[in-house]
């Protein structure tokens, strides 16, 4: 009896279906609105695509004989998508579609590109595409920052199968609103046909798929891969290229009879293995003559639905891609398509027409892959890892110049198993890593815990890679890092790899400040209260040159002091060569005192300062740059620093195109390996500077700051030159000494006696004149009459008529 019960249970297990279909039917109780006027879109190929916006998982696009767009994961009945008559598309045949930034979708309809906003239901025609195209490509990034938005906005439009290099390729950097014609020397070298062009952000490359003699290969446009190509692979039919989400570098290339994958942006193409239990059925699933109808793919998983009514499931990793055949069930139809709603959850979606309503219902059949793989009949070995987690998931990190990043992960294997952890970066040309694993205690049941510690640096700073392997250190780059288990089984569905995106570029949390320990306010020269009350100061017309045009100033310049932005000015004494102390701050914490090269520019055009070094004393080997190099563009100063790390050229390196011809020219770069300083002229007052870091090896950021200084201690400018004053003083001293010697000697002669008598007579005459009484009485009379006339209220009327003589 017991044996019969066990047999019955086994039969029930084997008879359990792959999934249970159900219908979605909503919004039809009160009828539905008639369809708007326009052309019904349809997919140009016999296969079915179900595309998901992985940044908004409920937004799904179905591409088949009808096209549907759902904002709730097809949980309601929907009418087919219609393009308005005003677009004048003619035959509404769709050959490609792409989710871009925000709520936008791009469609290629009848070889033209259209922009569709699925929230506002508005269509528009893109600009700039002058020739027919068949496909569009892009790679959407889901992190919410400007860097990620920039990646999502990069899109290509091209004609697949067009001859190279004559076929025009168009690119957009604004999410598809407008396109430009792509001009590149890399395209001129290709002589086959165009299979596609793609932004491989995980490799910081643009990849071009060239097809020639029934072989395909990827070519790249940036150093160090611009002079090599990926390994060629068979290309018998036109292959659709799927860039898997997450910017990890994984690709899927497929047609109805062929399936290839790549773990490194097309450099190596691999076949897909088919397993049954622990046995490899075939190393290339294309050899069993499958007829693929629909492909589902997310960051780590891959599934196929074939016309033979078979569903295959597998995982895609750096060490290979394997598939297993799931139990058979009649889920295929001409309209059926598959997609992953979540990790391990595969959905078979089929539109169902309603003869009474224009809106379609949808039949769903959801496969719980983890539950299916636990079926003993599949003979799949259980997962050898119980736990794998890290805080790096769902975060984006930045490594700036000369920085490093430390990450960690925790792993708990199954009892009795020793799994092998695997750490990979998608862009080894820019990112290097070191990883160590150590025991990290025990679980409650006595199982071991392991901690994986990872340190990431720029590959150029690892000192282990050849220069021909690394990218230019001046160029920003992107890389993903993935932590996985090298020998995990296909049953580890719920234990997905740990992955995140790393930007080798500007750390937005960095900023620079000029130290202000001694200010004009703290020394009592200026008052912070007065500075905040619309304080103004005057710049003499002799002390500045206008920044907006090249001409002599006609009047003094009145300047309003920006206290909110500048604070109290730093105090500087004019007779001491001065150099600002620049602080580097990150996340509000002082990191270091910056020693990179930087330049200064006075924003109001004051010119009464100079520099202590010349090109010769700064040990320049080529002619140094200075502000006169950018003189014609100074009116753009406030729109960003004109002299920056992008156009800076160091004079301490040999440059045949710019030899050192004027060694006495002023050296205007501060910091770095020189001790150059600013020398202020004999003028007291406020100077407002913009400081811009130009050192290309300090940070990927454009580091700028504005600050002010108050120059004090300068004496007023003399009316005569010092040389003239010294000459007059010496001449006067010598003349006095000569007169002191010559006059006594001259007086002892007869001519001297006559001069002495004349002077005595003249003195006696002047003294006698001064003693005349009538000459003294007239001023006294005038003064007395003035005193009387100035005080009329104190004089009696009888006295006013008398004459005072």
d(CA 346, CA 335): 16
**3-state DSSP call for residue 181?**
strand
> Residue 728: its pLDDT value, please?
83
- Residue 397 in this model has a pLDDT that exceeds 80: yes
What the block records as the tokens of 419 is: 């799994």
Give residue-wise pLDDT tens across range 665-687. 999 999 999 999 999 998 999 99
> Residue 778: its pLDDT value, please?
55
**Per-residue pLDDT band at 57 (split at 50, 70, 90):** confident
When pLDDT is averaged across residues 81-91 and rounded to a whole number, the result is 90
d(CA 688, CA 568): 11
Instruction: Give φ, ψ of 259 to 5 degrees.
Output: -145, 120
When pLDDT is averaged across residues 361-380 and rounded to a whole number, the result is 92
CB 119 within 8 A of CB 78: no
Mean pLDDT value across the chain:
87
In this prediction the pTM is: 0.82
> Residue 516: its pLDDT value, please?
95
Among 24-38, 106-120, 475-489, 668-682, where is mean pLDDT lowest? 24-38
Give residue-wise pLDDT tens across range 608-639. 999 999 999 999 999 999 988 776 444 444 44
- Residue 771 in this model has a pLDDT that exceeds 70: no
Give residue-wise pLDDT tens across range 436-449. 999 988 888 888 99
> Residue 14: its pLDDT value, please?
46
Give residue-wise pLDDT tens across range 14-55. 447 899 999 998 876 555 567 778 999 999 999 999 999 999
> Residue 639: its pLDDT value, please?
41
What is the residue-wise DSSP string for 584-647?
A: EEETTEEEEE--S-EEEEETT-B--EEES-BTTTTT-SBPPP-GGGGGGGGGGGGGS-SS-TTT
> Residue 740: its pLDDT value, please?
76
- Residue 472 in this model has a pLDDT that exceeds 70: yes
> Residue 726: its pLDDT value, please?
84
Give residue-wise pLDDT tens across range 750-764. 777 777 777 777 777
Give residue-wise pLDDT tens across range 170-218. 999 999 999 999 998 889 899 999 999 999 999 999 999 999 999 999 9
Q: Report which of residues 636 and 741 the model is more confident about.
A: 741
- Residue 789 in this model has a pLDDT that exceeds 50: no
> Residue 8: its pLDDT value, please?
35
**Per-residue pLDDT band at 468 (split at 50, 70, 90):** confident
Give residue-wise pLDDT tens across range 538-568. 999 889 988 766 677 788 999 999 999 999 9
Q: Which of 285, 292, 299, 303 is nearest to 347 (CA)?
A: 303
> Residue 753: its pLDDT value, please?
73
For the chain, counts of helices (H) and of strands (E)? 10, 51
- Residue 4 in this model has a pLDDT that exceeds 70: no
> Residue 512: its pLDDT value, please?
96
CA 360 to chain centre: 44
d(CA 695, CA 699): 8
d(CA 385, CA 370): 14
**Considering the chain, what percentage of its residues have pLDDT values greater than 90?**
68
**Per-residue pLDDT band at 510 (split at 50, 70, 90):** very high
CB 496 within 8 A of CB 483: no
Give residue-wise pLDDT tens across range 254-292. 999 999 999 999 999 999 999 998 899 999 999 998 999
> Residue 549: its pLDDT value, please?
61
Helix pair 750-770, 722-747: axis angle to 10 deg: 100
- Residue 453 in this model has a pLDDT that exceeds 50: yes
> Residue 768: its pLDDT value, please?
67
- Residue 501 in this model has a pLDDT that exceeds 80: yes
CB 583 within 8 A of CB 590: yes
């Amino acid at each position: 009896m017991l044996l019969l019960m066990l047999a019955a249970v086994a039969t029930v297990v084997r008879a359990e279906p792959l999934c249970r279909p159900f219908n979605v039917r909503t919004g039809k109780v009160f009828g539905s609105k008639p369809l708007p006027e326009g052309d019904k879109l349809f997919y140009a190929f016999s296969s079915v695509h179900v595309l998901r916006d992985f940044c908004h998982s409920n937004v799904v696009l179905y591409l088949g004989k009808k096209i549907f767009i759902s904002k709730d994961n097809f949980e309601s009945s929907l009418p087919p998508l219609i393009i308005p008559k005003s677009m004048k598309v003619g035959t509404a045949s769709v050959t490609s579609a792409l989710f871009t930034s925000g709520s936008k979708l791009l469609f290629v309809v009848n070889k033209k590109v259209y922009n569709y906003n699925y929230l506002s239901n508005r269509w528009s025609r893109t600009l700039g595409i002058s020739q027919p195209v068949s496909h569009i490509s892009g790679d959407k990034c889901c992190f919410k920052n400007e860097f990620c938005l920039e990646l999502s906005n990069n899109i290509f439009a091209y004609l697949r199968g067009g001859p190279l290099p004559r076929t025009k390729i168009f690119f957009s950097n604004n999410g598809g609103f407008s396109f430009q014609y792509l001009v590149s020397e890399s395209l001129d070298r290709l002589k086959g046909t165009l299979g596609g062009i793609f932004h491989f952000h995980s490799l910081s490359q643009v990849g071009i798929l060239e097809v020639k003699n029934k072989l395909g290969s990827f070519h790249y446009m940036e150093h160090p891969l611009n002079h090599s190509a990926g390994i060629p692979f068979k290309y018998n039919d036109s292959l659709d290229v799927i860039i898997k989400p997450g910017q990890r570098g994984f690709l899927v290339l497929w047609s109805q009879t062929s399936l290839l994958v790549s773990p490194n942006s097309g450099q190596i193409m691999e076949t897909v293995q088919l397993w049954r239990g622990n046995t490899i059925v075939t190393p290339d699933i294309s050899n069993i003559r499958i007829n693929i109808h629909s492909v589902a793919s997310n960051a780590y998983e891959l599934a196929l639905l074939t016309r033979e009514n078979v569903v295959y499931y597998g995982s895609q990793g750096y060490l290979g891609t394997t598939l297993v055949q799931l139990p058979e069930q009649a889920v295929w139809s001409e309209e059926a398509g598959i997609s992953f709603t979540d990790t391990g959850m595969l959905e078979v979606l089929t539109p169902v027409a309603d003869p009474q309503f224009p809106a379609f219902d949808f039949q769903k059949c959801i496969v719980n892959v983890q539950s299916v793989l636990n079926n003993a009949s599949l003979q799949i070995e259980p997962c050898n890892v119980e736990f794998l987690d890290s805080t790096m998931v769902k975060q984006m990190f930045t490594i700036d110049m000369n920085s490093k990043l430390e990450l960690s992960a925790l792993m708990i294997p199954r009892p009795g198993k020793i799994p092998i952890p695997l750490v990979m970066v998608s862009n080894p040309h820019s990112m290097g890593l070191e990883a160590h694993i150590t025991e990290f205690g025990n679980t409650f049941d006595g199982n071991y815990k392991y901690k994986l510690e990872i340190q990431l640096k720029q590959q150029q700073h690892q000192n282990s890679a050849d220069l021909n392997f690394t990218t230019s250190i001046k160029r920003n780059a992107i890389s993903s890092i993935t932590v996985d288990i090298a020998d995990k089984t296909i049953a580890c569905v719920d234990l997905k790899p740990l992955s995140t995106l790393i930007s080798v570029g500007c750390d937005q949390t960095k900023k620079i400040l000029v130290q202000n320990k001694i200010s004009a306010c703290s020394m009592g020269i200026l008052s912070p209260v007065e500075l905040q009350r619309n304080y103004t100061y005057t710049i003499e017309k002799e002390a500045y040159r206008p920044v907006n045009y090249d001409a002599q100033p006609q009047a003094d310049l009145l300047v309003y002091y920006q206290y909110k932005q500048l604070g109290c000015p730093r105090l500087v004494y004019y007779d001491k060569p001065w150099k600002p102390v620049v602080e580097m701050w990150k996340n509000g914490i002082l990191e270091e005192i910056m020693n990179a090269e930087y330049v200064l520019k006075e924003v109001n055009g004051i010119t009464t300062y100079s520099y202590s070094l010349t090109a010769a004393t700064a040990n320049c080997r080529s002619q140094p740059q200075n502000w006169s190099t950018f003189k014609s563009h100074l009116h753009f100063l406030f729109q960003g620093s004109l002299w920056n790390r992008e156009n800076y050229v160091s004079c301490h390196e040999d440059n045949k195109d710019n030899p050192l011809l004027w060694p006495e020219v002023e050296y205007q770069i501060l910091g770095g390996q020189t001790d150059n300083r600013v020398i202020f002229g004999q003028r007291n007052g406020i100077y407002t500077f913009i400081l811009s870091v130009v050192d290309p090896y300090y940070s990927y950021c454009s580091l700028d700051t504005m600050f002010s200084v108050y120059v004090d201690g300068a004496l007023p400018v003399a009316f005569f030159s010092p040389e003239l004053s010294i000459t007059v003083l010496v001449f006067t001293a010598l003349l006095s000494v000569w007169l002191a010697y010559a006059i006594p000697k001259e007086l002892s002669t007869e001519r001297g006696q006559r001069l002495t008598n004349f002077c005595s007579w003249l003195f006696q005459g002047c003294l006698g004149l001064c003693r005349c009484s009538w000459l003294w009485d007239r001023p006294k009379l005038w003064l007395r009459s003035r005193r009387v006339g100035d005080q009329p209220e104190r004089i009696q009327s009888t006295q006013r008529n008398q004459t005072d003589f």
